Amino acid sequence: MSIEWRKDVDAALEEAQETGRPLLVDFNAAPD
């Protein structure tokens, strides 16, 4: 399973509130 990373934090926060799941935010400097 590949991870569906979001890039829009505010949209992800809304999604977290809707689903009850917490955010996992990966602050990184690695190339894609």
Partner 1 sequence: MYPRDEVADYIGEHFIPVKAHIAEQPGTFGRFHKNWTPTLVVMDGRGIERHEWVGYLPADEFSGQLALGRAQAAFGAGDWEEAEERFREAAAAWSNTEAAPEAVYWAGVSRYKASEDPAALGETADRLAERYPDSLWATRASVWAD
Instruction: Provide the minimum distance between the beta carbon of 11 and partner 1 in the complex, in angstroms, as a whole number.
Output: 9
Following CA atoms 29, 26, 8, 31 in sequence, which dihedral angle do they give, to the nearest 10 degrees?
Answer: 30
Q: Which of residues 2-21 bind partner 1 (CB under 8 A)?
A: 2-7, 9, 12-21
d(Cα 14, Cα 32) in Å, to the nearest integer?
25
Q: What is the largest CA-CA distance in the chain?
A: 31
Instruction: Provide the minimum distance between the beta carbon of 25 and partner 1 in the complex, in angstroms, as a whole number.
Output: 5
How many residues bind partner 1, per CB under 8 A? 27
List of residues contacting partner 1 (CB under 8 A) = 1-7, 9, 12-30
